[in-house]
Amino acid sequence: MARYGMVVDLDRCVGCRACMEACKVENNTPRANLWMYVFRFEEGEYPDTKVWFMPRPCMHCDNAPCVKVCPVGARYKRQDGLVATDWERCIGCRFCEVACPYGVNYFNWKSPSKSYYLDWGDKDLSGVTGGDSPPYRNPDLDRPYGQEQRRIAGGGRVKGVIEKCTFCVQRVEKGLLPACVAACPTFTLRFGDLDDPNSVVSRLLQRKRSFRLLEEAGTQATRILRGRSSAGRGSAADRRGESEGMSVGTRVEGLPYGIARFTFGWLLLIGFLLALVGLGVYAYALQYSEGEVVTGMRDIGTMGGAPWGLYITMVIYFVGVSFAGITVAALIRILNLERLRPVSRMAELLTVIALILAALSILADLGQPLRGIVNLFLYARPQSPFFGTFTLVISGYLFASQVYLYLDGRRDAAICARTPSRLQWLYRLWAAGYRDTQAERRRHARASFWLAIAIVPLLFTAHSTLGFVFGLQVGRPGWFSALQAPGFVVMAGVSGVGLLIVIAAILRRVLSERERLNLAVFRWLGNFLMVLTITYLYFMAVELITATYIGSQSEVHLMDVALRGDYAWLYWLSVVSMAIPVALLFIQFVLRRHRIGLIVLSGALVNMAAVGKRILIVVPSQTHGTLLPYLPGSYSPTWVEYSVIAGLLGLGMSLYVLFMKVFPIMEVPKRAEGVR
Amino acid sequence: MRYRDEMRKMGVAEIYWRDYTPLPTWRTPTMEGSPPEYDLYLTSYKLIEFKQSRASQIPLLAELAPKQRLEINPKTAKARAIGDGEEVWVESHNAVTGETRRVKVAARHSESMRPDTVGMPHHYGEVARHPWVEGQGPTPNTLFFTGEGYVTNTQDQSFHVKVRVYKA
């Protein structure tokens, strides 16, 4: 079987860029998609200047990072050495684009037919073309190729998929050379069978020195001549009050916490939130029909943009915030922290809703979301870090949290089921025959305990897996770090606990639960938040020192951009938004005098810092962190992205508020069960 | 005769009869007669991208070299406080008639240029009169002169100009 490779002879390139043009014509690429690109380098000072050119096709790496990270296997390496993109399977997640160290991938932000070089619908042009119908579409690009018979030639005609240099597979299958090789006037580009010792490429590699571009990245590129304690104390206390109450058959006066009672204020709130959701849906519909060109995201490299923007930032934020529920549940069960019991259900609900929003954010980001849903099930690849995100996080974490929420709520459901109401059928279903006997309670506590034990490892693996999405990318300076996985776990804690504090404070007011959501609860959460935030600031300090001590060029440049350059305002704002809470919480801790107001302020500030820091993780490494010398870029989100995110937040809040009207958000107090 | 009258109308004092020689001679280039503030030589050249199309109206080729630029040595630029990519005025002077012409163009730092020279490629410019070339930039032809001293009557004369470059 032939093993094709390309060899680029830098001694010969004169920078005529005929290869770029030939590639465009052969593969009908739309505007600004430069599958083949030629860099121009100028070195030295006058009069000792040297100008040289370097063509950069796709490197068709033997150890390609893009192949490794594709969640559905649309990007794969063929036996004959070509790295191909199946544009029928691609779901448009752009993971290959951010993973590539060379910046060769291009995403169809809008339908390719809208971004050709001229407006072919223009009536005047038909006079020029003599009535023929441009643009000329090479018919070979639509045929399937290879043993697997997949459509890999050309760039796909739909928006929302990735395309890149294919070594002109439609020409190679016919025995021709790729278009760029055929067009090169100086024999700079050579193509052939690396396994054949007599081929042009093999002979060149024997005769001349060669290197692989970015060899240290390990990609083996083409050569250049390159979560109740209850079983114990709890049940003893419960035994007296509950069993008495239940045997007397006392009814609760109406359902607790305003359930099923719709006030005007509540309706106003839900109306506002649903209006936000409507805005988000409208913006998303626009994005779905026009393509992601309506967002501020663009390709890395020649386009100077960031293909991962606010949507991915919010995915990380939502998954991070879901830390709260699991941790609180686990801490209550495993460490007997009864103090936190009042916030356990609101934390669990936060987790469930946050994970749903995370899944929706991923779908909002995909170029082909419907394909994404289908192909992720049909073709999922465990080697891709996204696999961990979808299975461990979205499926495992979400499922376990829902089970936990269900189990935890059975007792309160049973209590609510005693009162006749429109939702009595729901409570009966939820309680599913829960009897408040001692044996039942012990069994329930044991089940929750073991479930909490099973969830805790998921806590670490789920957040670490999201960290691996970034930390394993050798081609993105600033991302490639062993600290990403643990950093994501800690940051999840910071934002999750912070948001939980804010929610608890709001509910404390709204439900008038000053006694149960008392200072002890906030004090514990505040101290936990302090420890987590200090840990995260430690991670940031380690990152800063490592990058600036004797950093590699890209790392130093990225740190400079963050500390003093385009992103300095966001960096320092985030640092301050984390330092102030640490100071507030630490002072309160040392003086042993806590105030709920200050703790809540800290929780709100760290959440803002969390979003800011996540933007700093995601965006600068794409706009300013290219290993090849592209010009620096920029990313400005558009109203579409803000609206979709506002819609998601509105959806989350409305689900939360809706749940509160249907089920008690805190455990119904034992007092309510007693005789009045 | 008409030529001499035209030239006199433009204020040309003398006709360069000495250029009409069968054998090559050398005289100081006309451009050296410009005042000293016009200190840079202007050279123009062709770009490979537009070798065949001559002008920049084909969008596929224009994508490779989208805009006109003035290539200037970084030290020269620094002395005039011109950053990379900034818009500048390039003003040329006719040493015979005293006329000046100028165009506005974006400067590009290039170590490959001599410190005393700036360069501007051809192909761009409104003379192409094509709706698709709008906004691409001026042509250096605007800065060159015809007329005495700047038109070769034999093949041994240069018609280059000296220019001065300043921020827009």
ipTM: 0.84
Give dist(CA A478, CA A465) in Å, integer. Answer: 17
Look at residue A125 in the predicted model and tell me its pLDDT: 65
- Output the CA torsion A20→B140→A44→A554 (10° steps): -50
Across chain B, what does the average pLDDT equal? 85
Give dist(CA A500, CA A506) in Å, integer. Answer: 10
Beta bridge partners of A223: A212
Under the banding of pLDDT at 50, 70 and 90, the label for residue A333 is: confident
Q: Which of A206-215, A411-420, B91-100 has the highest mean pLDDT?
A: B91-100
Q: What percent of chain A has pLDDT over 90?
A: 47
Contact A17 B48 (CB under 8 A): yes
Under the banding of pLDDT at 50, 70 and 90, the label for residue A242 is: very low
pLDDT digits (tens, 9 = 90+) for A576-592: 999 999 999 999 999 98
Q: Which of A200-214, A261-275, A556-570, A594-608 has the lowest average pLDDT?
A: A200-214
Tokens encoding A56: 């950069």
Cis peptide before A47 (omega within 30 of 0): yes
Under the banding of pLDDT at 50, 70 and 90, the label for residue B71 is: very high
Chain A CB within 8 Å of residue B48 CB: yes
Under the banding of pLDDT at 50, 70 and 90, the label for residue B35 is: very high
How many beta-carbon pairs below 8 A join chains A and B? Answer: 36
Check pLDDT > 50 for residue A444.
yes
Tell me the residue ranges of DSSP E strands in A44-110. Answer: 50-56, 75-77, 83-85, 106-107
Under the banding of pLDDT at 50, 70 and 90, the label for residue A313 is: very high
- A82-to-A349, A579, B27 alpha-carbon distances in Å: 48, 50, 63
- CA atoms within 13 A of residue B56's CA, in its CB half-sphere: 25
Look at residue A440 in the predicted model and tell me its pLDDT: 83
Residue type, A8: V
pLDDT digits (tens, 9 = 90+) for A517-569: 888 889 999 999 999 999 999 999 998 898 888 777 888 888 888 888 889 99
Tokens encoding B147: 């007329």
Beta bridge partners of A189: A8
Contact B112 A32 (CB under 8 A): no
Question: DSSP label at B107?
Answer: E
Cβ–Cβ < 8 Å for A634, A519: no
Question: DSSP label at A300?
Answer: S
φ, ψ for residue A76, nearest 5 deg: -145, 160
Closest Cα to residue A24, out of A12, A36, A16? A36
Look at residue A11 in the predicted model and tell me its pLDDT: 85
Tokens encoding B69: 């630029």
Give dist(CA B154, CA A9) in Å, integer. Answer: 44
Chain A CB within 8 Å of residue B55 CB: no
> Judging by beta carbons within 10 Å of its beta carbon (0-12, 13-18, 19+), is residue B80 exposed, middle or buried?
middle
CA-based angle B105:B107:B108, to the nearest 5? Answer: 140
Q: What percent of chain A has pLDDT over 70?
A: 92
Look at residue A672 in the predicted model and tell me its pLDDT: 46
Beta strands A4-8 and A189-193 are antiparallel
Cβ–Cβ < 8 Å for B82, B67: no
Contact B63 A32 (CB under 8 A): yes
Chain B CB within 8 Å of residue A124 CB: no
Q: Which of A342-351, A666-675, B70-79 has the lowest average pLDDT?
A: A666-675
**H-assigned helices in A296-437:** 310-321, 323-335, 344-365, 369-379, 385-388, 398-417, 424-431
Question: DSSP label at A223?
Answer: B
Residue type, A166: T
End-to-end CA distance of chain A: 86
A474: Cβ contacts below 8 Å, ≥ 6 apart: A65, A101, A217, A218, A219, A480
Under the banding of pLDDT at 50, 70 and 90, the label for residue A287 is: very high
> What distance separates the 2 farthest-apart alpha carbons in chain A?
101
The closest CB to that of A117, out of B60, B111, B114, belongs to B60
The per-residue DSSP string of A305-340 comes to --SS-HHHHHHHHHHHHTHHHHHHHHHHHHH--GGG
A334: Cβ contacts below 8 Å, ≥ 6 apart: A449, A452, A453, A456
Check pLDDT > 90 for residue A276.
yes
Look at residue A448 in the predicted model and tell me its pLDDT: 82
The closest CB to that of A20, out of B64, B110, B113, belongs to B64
Contact B115 A45 (CB under 8 A): no
> Judging by beta carbons within 10 Å of its beta carbon (0-12, 13-18, 19+), is residue A444 exposed, middle or buried?
buried
Give mean pLDDT, residues A106-113: 89
Cβ–Cβ < 8 Å for A555, A477: yes
Chain B CB within 8 Å of residue A45 CB: yes
**Radius of gyration for the alpha carbons in chain A, expressed in angstroms and rounded:** 29
Look at residue B57 in the predicted model and tell me its pLDDT: 84
Exposure string for A548-572, b = 16+ CB within 10 A, e = fewer: eeebeebbebbbbbbeebbbeebbe
What residues of A are in contact with residue B61 (Cβ under 8 Å)?
A: 21
What residues of B are in contact with residue A32 (Cβ under 8 Å)?
A: 63
Look at residue B134 in the predicted model and tell me its pLDDT: 80
Question: Which residue has 């109203």 as its token pair?
Answer: A639
**Residue of chain B minimizing CA distance to A29:** B60
User: What distance in Å separates residue A621's CA from the closest CA in chain B?
Assistant: 24
Chain B CB within 8 Å of residue A121 CB: no
Give dist(CA B138, CA B121) in Å, integer. Answer: 10
Question: DSSP label at A130?
Answer: T
Name the packing angle between helices A310-321 and A438-471 (round to 10°): 150
Per the confidence metrics, is the pTM higher than 0.90?
no
Give dist(CA B156, CA B24) in Å, integer. Answer: 7
Under the banding of pLDDT at 50, 70 and 90, the label for residue A131 is: low
Q: Which of A68-72, A235-239, A628-632 has the lowest average pLDDT?
A: A235-239
The per-residue DSSP string of B109-146 comes to E-TTS-TTEEEEESS-SGGG--GGGTTS---GGGG---
Contact B48 A24 (CB under 8 A): no
Give mean pLDDT, residues A345-358: 92
**Residue of chain A minimizing CA distance to B132:** A118
Look at residue A234 in the predicted model and tell me its pLDDT: 29
Look at residue A324 in the predicted model and tell me its pLDDT: 86
Closest Cα to residue A227, out of A410, A487, A403? A403
The closest CB to that of A46, out of B59, B61, B114, belongs to B114
Give dist(CA A328, CA A340) in Å, integer. Answer: 7
Give dist(CA A510, CA B81) in Å, integer. Answer: 62
The number of residues making up chain B comes to 168
Across chain A, what does the average pLDDT equal? 85
Measured in whole angstroms, the distance separating CA A21 from the mean position of its chain's CA atoms is 36
Measured in whole angstroms, the distance separating CA A194 from the mean position of its chain's CA atoms is 39
Check pLDDT > 70 for residue A120.
no
A373-376 contact pairs (CB < 8 A, 24+)? A375/A72, A375/A74, A375/A89, A375/A91, A376/A71, A376/A72, A376/A91
Look at residue B80 in the predicted model and tell me its pLDDT: 94
- Output the CA torsion A140→A145→A151→A155 (10° steps): -50
Check pLDDT > 50 for residue A251.
no
Look at residue A493 in the predicted model and tell me its pLDDT: 93
Give dist(CA A26, CA A178) in Å, integer. Answer: 9
Beta bridge partners of B45: B121
Count Cβ atoms below 10 Å from residue B152 Cβ, excluding itself.
10
